[in-house]
Structure 1
Amino acid sequence: MSDRLPLPAELTAAQRDAVDRITAGPRGEISGPFVPLLRSPELMTRLQLVGEHIRFGGVLDDDLRELVILTVARHWDQGYEWAFHHPIAVAKGVPLEVIESVGQGNRPHTGRPELCLVWDLVDELQRTGGVGDEVYTAAVKALGEEQVVAAVATAGYYTTLAMVMNVARTPPPPGGARLPSR
């Protein structure tokens, strides 16, 4: 399948402005979901600012954030998200056994307990559209309300990016970890 929305050969003034804004920030480049989102430069700019906060300034522990992202990537079969965030997850302390479980769509059973709780939260939310009292209470007890809200918002943000890239058929970055087949 070919990339439906690659980087445009010529950018409008609004697109150039959006590219300048994203490349001046901590991302330093335009890639992945921001290429198709460039068709709507104002939306891309606003979305990437949410993502910038989540990745570079949010309250969710780094390993938990990366677990949320990989769980969303697995749910949406999103190869770019998986390949891009797999090495970040490893660097942020997510054990390879946990990543392998998530890649197979399974609940992790190793690593710190909060990883399993966050997986439970995001998995139940993705499967049912809500979260029951048992999972919610356990997550709030372990993480606090602020991190639970951050985990849910992170899942929502990366779900948006996954849907955009799936429609655009954004290819994974070369040489990255491949999302396991189901």
Structure 2
Amino acid sequence: MAARIDPAPQPYEPDMEETLAKLMPEGVEPLLLFRMLARSPRLFRRFMAGGLLDKGSISLRDREIAIDRTCGRCGGEYEWGVHIALFADAVGFGPAEIKATATGDANDACWNPRERLIVRLVDQLHDTSMIDDALWAELAAEFEDEQLLELIMLTGFYHMVSFVVNATRLPAEPYGARFPTGV
């Protein structure tokens, strides 16, 4: 299935070309998502400014649990697949963690207590757009305020990313992982 919106044609504006070149490892074409967003340099720049893929207040593993779980819950296979392909090994995800981000829940044996809290945060935000007082108390005992804000913002940002990739029907990147069967 083809994407509903084609990627921007080259050549890109000079600063856009430079930004796209920095986003991926040498020799790897920028993601279809980035090239599609490059149709609107303003939207692309705003998207990149909000991405939260820098070294933040949480570990790379915590970040990937939040991102992958959010994309899994939203059915955002394109983005989930990119993150699994590019980060799963780096954060020590095995088959159980990969599957759990897409189909499991916070009680899966692959998660430690801290990670269960992240999954619960993502799931509760996804289901209710809120975090109840009981979960907040557990989160506040484990995470600093800055970390909680980052986890909440990551969840919201990757809801938006999932909306974009789903609505535009972006096909999976050639190297992107696919959801486990049944998702």
TM-score tier, shorter chain, comes to: 0.7 to 0.9
Distance 1:94 1:140, change over 3 A: farther
Task: Map 1:43-58 onto structure 2 (within 5 A).
Answer: 43-51=43-51, 54-58=52-56
Cα contact 1:38–1:44 (8 A) shared by 2: yes
Distance 1:8 1:71, change over 3 A: same
The structure in which a higher percent of residues are helix is: 1
Match of 1:69 in 2: 67
3-state SS of 2:109 partner = coil
Q: Give 5+ residue unaligned stretches, structure 2.
A: none
- What amino acid is the match of 1:56? D
Q: Give 5+ residue unaligned stretches, structure 1.
A: none
Cα contact 2:7–2:32 (8 A) shared by 1: no
Percent identical residues:
26
2:100 maps to 1:101? yes
Q: Tell me the TM-score normalized by structure 2.
A: 0.85
Match of 1:92 in 2: 91
2:126 maps to 1:133? no
- Runs of 4+ in structure 1 deviating by more than 6 angstroms, as ranges, are none
Match of 2:144 in 1: 144
Cα contact 1:37–1:164 (8 A) shared by 2: no
- What amino acid is the match of 1:79? E
Q: Cα offset for 1:114?
A: 1.3
Distance across 2 between alignment mates of 1:8 and 1:50: 21
Q: Would you say how many aligned residue pairs link Structure 1 and Structure 2?
A: 178
Match of 2:22 in 1: 24
- What amino acid is the match of 1:69? I
